[in-house]
Structure 1
Amino acid sequence: MSCQTGSHKVLLFYIFDNELSKRFNNRLVVQKNVMRTYGNGKAVGYAEDILCLDGNWRQNMSIGLLQFDSEVLANRWRQSDPQFRQHDWLDDHDIWVLPLTEDIQPWYCFEVDLFKVADKEQFEHDFLSKWGEGIRNAGGFPGVSSTGEVHVWRGMHEADYVFISQWPNELVAQKWHQSEEANQLKVTRPQVTNGCMMLARMKLFA
């Protein structure tokens, strides 16, 4: 798939073995000042812990998020770094490019929802808008990235829609997911087969 991210802010969504988190972190610390010269690039963080709420997340896999002013500048930075441009530096990892649709909040708890969507119009009208509103009313920040178009730089992408939100902490997020309103909405949601709904406790970069 491709997405209209050429001149808009983007997130690089990395999926890699959680045993390589230290390697990912250390290299980004080294690259901090360099990244800024490529479209205000910066590391958002990586997951220290992941809780799968529904569906199936890849066992022992973590995620990392980087932010850039555009996909073009993100790619220029990646190609400039001798570690990140190596095909096998993070072993068998995935890289997705997602549009940044809302400014990221200084909250460490990220919710990543990956959906299979049969009817996009029905999904957006009957589920997604209400899901986002419910998250906001429950104290979360919905739709940091909300897209049905993902540009895959490496690896696989099986979900039809990616919806990333933030929460001030896991307790607030879990309270929402256990609420009657959330469970009623989940009845109308699309399948999470080949995807999931998960909470990621992120180590944020300063």
Structure 2
Amino acid sequence: MADSKGGAMLLIRYGVNRKQACKNSLSKWRSVHHVYEGCVSGVSSEVEQQEGHWPRAKGVALLSFESMKDAQMWKDCIPEIKQQDWMDGPDMVLVPMRELPPPGKRYVQILELEFSQENYQRYMSEYVPATKDILHKSGASESVVASSAPVNLKGAWNPQSLIINFWSNEEEFHKAYTSEEYKPLKEMRQELALTTSCSFHLEDLFRSKGAC
């Protein structure tokens, strides 16, 4: 399990009816996050689906760590997580980050992609460079996560590839996502990959500047 220079992000996908339980559990073990150089980026339950099939009534918590190893050790040392009935069995996926999530950008887009090797090469050579320009002009912090090697730690969610972008607000995201400039690129991506796209506001769990 190789570490990236940007650290690692742990995604916890849980039933929205368990949001408060998730917040309580993460708050309770806040000190352990710091032991393993961790940070709770935030939680969300109001997820908007743009494409594909995001599971109904599922929210997301994002946790950042300095390494994949730290994230794994955090998960293994929290007693509650080991219990089968913890939050009714959420999904947990670990991915390397290219950079830390920007504290001032709290609107998140998750793209889950599944494609053949041939289509992946075209995606990387044609779609990614063109999309970078649009994201940059739109003010996004693009590809905080851009991983073709997510690691399933718990539950049934086992994505082939994940892209996670951070935006200042919902309006900026939708303006870029629905723009005429992005339309042909979106159509290209949909031809190349089975895609699920969803977005949500990331609630600062601790009501502080950095949420750590």
1:37 corresponding residue in structure 2 = 35
Distance in 1 (alpha carbons) for counterparts of 2:132 and 2:82: 35
Within 5 Å, which residues of 2 pair with 1:76-155? 76-106=73-103, 107-118=105-116, 119-155=119-155
Q: Which runs of 4 or more aligned residues in structure 1 lie more than 4 Å from their structure 2 counterparts after TM superposition? A: none
Distance in 1 (alpha carbons) for counterparts of 2:5 and 2:128: 26
Q: Are 2:196 and 1:199 aligned?
A: no
2:65 equivalent among 68, 85, 89? 68
1:182 corresponding residue in structure 2 = 182
Distance 1:91 1:139, change over 3 A: same
Distance 1:7 1:128, change over 3 A: closer
Q: CA deviation at 1:71?
A: 2.1
Distance in 2 (alpha carbons) for counterparts of 1:87 and 1:133: 45
Q: CA deviation at 1:160?
A: 2.6
Distance in 2 (alpha carbons) for counterparts of 1:7 and 1:185: 29
Q: CA deviation at 1:8?
A: 6.3
Distance in 1 (alpha carbons) for counterparts of 2:158 and 2:67: 24
Greater displacement, 74-83 / 180-189: 74-83
The answer for unaligned runs of 5 or more in structure 1 is: none
Aligned residues: 202
Contact 1:47 1:200 in 2 (8 A): yes
Distance 1:9 1:167, change over 3 A: same
**Letter aligned with residue 83 of structure 1:** E
**Letter aligned with residue 30 of structure 1:** K
Distance in 2 (alpha carbons) for counterparts of 1:41 and 1:158: 23
Contact 1:15 1:63 in 2 (8 A): yes
Q: CA deviation at 1:41?
A: 0.9
Distance in 2 (alpha carbons) for counterparts of 1:140 and 1:166: 6
Q: Are 2:45 and 1:48 aligned?
A: yes
Distance in 2 (alpha carbons) for counterparts of 1:110 and 1:104: 10
Distance in 1 (alpha carbons) for counterparts of 2:175 and 2:65: 32
TM-score, normalised to structure 2, is 0.88
The answer for unaligned runs of 5 or more in structure 2 is: 206-210
Distance 1:6 1:156, change over 3 A: farther
Q: CA deviation at 1:103?
A: 1.8
Distance in 2 (alpha carbons) for counterparts of 1:174 and 1:46: 20
Contact 1:117 1:123 in 2 (8 A): no
Contact 1:48 1:203 in 2 (8 A): no
Q: CA deviation at 1:7?
A: 8.2
1:11 corresponding residue in structure 2 = 9
Deviation per CA, 1:140-162, whole angstroms, max 9, x where unpaired? 11001001111111223454321
Contact 1:113 1:163 in 2 (8 A): yes
**Letter aligned with residue 147 of structure 2:** T
